[in-house]
Structure 1
Amino acid sequence: MAEVSAEARIEAPAEKVWGRLTDFSSYGEWNATHTSFPRGGPAELELAATYEENMKLMGFPAEVMWTVDGLEEGRLLATRGKGPMGVNLAMRYSLTPEGDATTMRIDGEFTGAAVSLMGGKLKDSATAALQESLRKLGGLVTS
């Protein structure tokens, strides 16, 4: 298993950060691993909603089928996904309002046989991607 996380204080209210986080049409503007949603994001953002995402992890393309398994409007978006080579993923985006600013934390988890073969490199690559994503997201909502 590989676990990764990143956290940043974003100088924008949580509603604005949440709006960008859940605007699936703009993921390419900030999410460092995202390449496309072949059929668009989830039709309705609700528990058990599913959607497919094409990603790039460690420079390799990956297709992931996501299911929303945690949702608290303005505060939490948690998903579980099935990727290539039996890899399972979990992503948790949590927002903590702090007046006119927001602390956003992203936690990710990768499990499966292939993960044990590339655990260290995957962890480093995914952590760097999360940090870059938070930096880009922060730039979009504060400009």
Structure 2
Amino acid sequence: MADVSAEARIEASTEKVWAKLSDFSVYGEWSATHTGFPKGAPASLEQGGTFEENMKLMGFPAEVVWTVTELEPGRALTIKGKGPMGVNVGTRYSLAPDGDATTVRIDGEFTGAAVSLMAGKLKDSAGAALQESLRKLAALVA
């Protein structure tokens, strides 16, 4: 298992941050691991909805089939996915008002037999990608 997280204070309202975070037409502009949606970007988010995403992590491409497992508009989004080599992935985005700004936290989890072989490098790579994603999201909503 490999767990990673990153948090940033973004100088924008929770509503503005959520609007960009949940808009898949701009997802590639801020998500550092995203390379495409092989079947097109999801039109909207809904509990239990699924979508496929092409990603790149640690220099390796991967296709993940995601399911939305938690959706609280303006507050939280959790997606769980299945990737190659039996790797299971979970990502949770949480937003909290912080005065005129928003604190955004991303938590990621990787499980599966293949993860134990590369947990250290995976944590480093995924952690850096989360930090970069938060920087890009902040720039996008500014």
**Does residue 89 of structure 1 match 2:55?**
no
Do the aligned partners of 1:3 and 1:110 also contact (CA within 8 Å) in 2? yes
What CA distance in whole angstroms lies between the structure 1 residues aligned with 2:24 and 2:96? 21
1:83-126 alpha-carbon deviations (Å, 9 max, x no partner): 00000000000000123200000000000011000000000000
**Does residue 62 of structure 1 match 2:62?**
yes
What CA distance in whole angstroms lies between the structure 1 residues aligned with 2:16 and 2:44? 19
1:23 is matched with: 23
TM-score normalised to the size of structure 2?
Answer: 0.98
Secondary structure in structure 1 of the residue aligned to 2:25: helix
TM-score normalised to the size of structure 1?
Answer: 0.97
**Does residue 116 of structure 1 match 2:116?**
yes
Shift of 1:3: 0.1
Seq. identity, %: 75
Structure 1: which amino acid aligns with 2:5? S
1:32-75 alpha-carbon deviations (Å, 9 max, x no partner): 00000112233431110000000001000000000000000100
What CA distance in whole angstroms lies between the structure 1 residues aligned with 2:41 and 2:70? 16
Secondary structure in structure 2 of the residue aligned to 1:25: coil
What is the aligned residue count? 142
Do the aligned partners of 1:96 and 1:103 also contact (CA within 8 Å) in 2? yes
Do the aligned partners of 2:66 and 2:79 also contact (CA within 8 Å) in 1? yes
**Does residue 105 of structure 1 match 2:105?**
yes
Shift of 1:19: 0.5
Structure 2: which amino acid aligns with 1:18? W
Two-structure CA RMSD over aligned residues (Å): 0.8
1:111-143 alpha-carbon deviations (Å, 9 max, x no partner): 00110000000000000000000001001101x
**Does residue 140 of structure 1 match 2:140?**
yes
Runs of 4+ more than 2 Å apart: 40-44
Structure 1: which amino acid aligns with 2:68? V
